[in-house]
Structure 1
Amino acid sequence: MTNRDYTLSFTVAQSPDTVFAAIANVRGWWSQEISGGTEHVGDIFAYRYQDLHRCRIAITEAAPGKRIVWHVLDNYFSFTRDETEWKGTDIVFDISDKDGVTEVTFTHRGLVPSYECFEACSQGWRMYVEGSLRDLIMTGKGRPNVGEAMTESERILAA
């Protein structure tokens, strides 16, 4: 059986601790529209993008230099019929040392191809994780959403 959860990986020359700190700086790579704590187990934060997407996420695991796990407590998409998409899913960042570089493996457990949001969500995660988060790790400056549509899907949905 194949794993159908959404996953992607990339490597960087920075240390696992630097990678962990960057992931925990959610406002630095995903969105400046984040409220609440984003660093410690038990923290709950809220994300919002216009009236298209909002969610509440709890940090359930935070092992410095190794792993961060978020659990989606609540979620709303204005563009899906199924109101349960993302609810109860886990977003996992695994960090490992591989031959002198740090590998980041991002898995959104429960984000599967049968979801209405799959195409828009996978496009968004690619841009925010492989693009913005990777930039934050490598250069100290990410490209978080500041209220404007950033992906093609966001532009279409916001129109």
Structure 2
Amino acid sequence: MQNQDFTTTLLFDQSPKEVFDAINNVSAWWSEEVEGGTEKVNDVFTYHYKDVHFCKMKLIEVVPETKVVWLVLDNHFSFTIDKSEWKNTEVSFEISRKNDKTQLRFTHIGLVPDYECYDVCKEGWSNYINGSLRDLITTGKGQPNPKEGAGFNAELVDKWKLQ
């Protein structure tokens, strides 16, 4: 059976180090609301977008210029009935050389079409990876979600930070 995990692949003129460094600068391409470490094994960070999405990630594999893998420790979508979606899935960034280019293969392992959130998540990851992260790598400036200030459920954020 064909692998149905969401994946996308990009090619860059930039070096594997430049791609690797951009991936680890999560607040520069995903969200300015990212809190916590995003660069070394066992770092844990949180992400949120308004009251719509909150997740807690742990870096479980970091191989400089080659691979970064996040484990989703916890996740909350306001728009899904199944509250287990994303939990214990992995987000993988694989970097390799292809001729004179650097290839980035992004895969959300476990994000499959059977998920209630699949279409929304596929669109979201496509925008962040193929848009914001790509722009950060090629121009030095991504389009992360800006800091929101008020409006998010602060109690929920605080609860998850303590776990």
TM-score, with length taken from structure 1? 0.92
Distance in 1 between residues matched to 2:14 and 2:45, nearest whole Å: 26
> Deviation string for 1:30-82 (max 9, x for gaps)?
00010000000010000010111000000001101100000000000010000
Quick one: which amino acid aligns to residue 130 of structure 2? E
Structure 2 counterpart of 1:79:
79
The match for 2:63 is 63
Contact 1:49-1:147 within 8 A present in 2 as well: no
Write the distance in 1 (CA, Å) between the matches of 2:130 and 2:59.
Answer: 21
Give the secondary-structure state (helix, strand or coil) at the position aligned to 2:112: coil
- In structure 2, the residue corresponding to 1:33 is in which secondary structure? coil
Query: Match for residue 142 of structure 2?
Result: 142
Structure 1 position 147, deviation (Å):
4.9
Matched letter for residue 26 of structure 1: V
User: For 1:36 and 1:8, how far apart are their aligned partners in 2?
Assistant: 26
* 3-state SS, counterpart of residue 120 of structure 1: helix
Q: 1:24-63 to 2 correspondence within 5 Å?
A: 24-63=24-63
Structure 1: which 5+ residue stretches go unaligned? 149-159
Tell me the distance in 1 between the aligned counterparts of 2:142 and 2:7: 20
Separation (CA, whole Å) in 2 of partners of 1:136 and 1:108 = 20
Per-residue deviation, 1:146: 0.9
Secondary structure at the aligned position of 1:116 is classed as: coil
| TM-score between both structures, scaled by the size of structure 2 | 0.89
Hey, what's the Cα distance between the residues in 2 that align with 1:131 and 1:44?
A: 24
AA matched with 2:24? A
Give the Å deviation of 1:14. 0.2
Query: Quick one: distance in 2 between partners of 1:65 and 1:113?
Result: 30
String of CA shifts for 1:98-134, please: whole Å, max 9, x gaps: 0010000000000000111101100000000010000
Letter of the 1:143 partner, please give it: Q
Distance in 2 separating the partners of 1:126 and 1:146: 18
Partner Cα separation in structure 2 for residue 50 and residue 100 of structure 1: 41
Identity %: 53
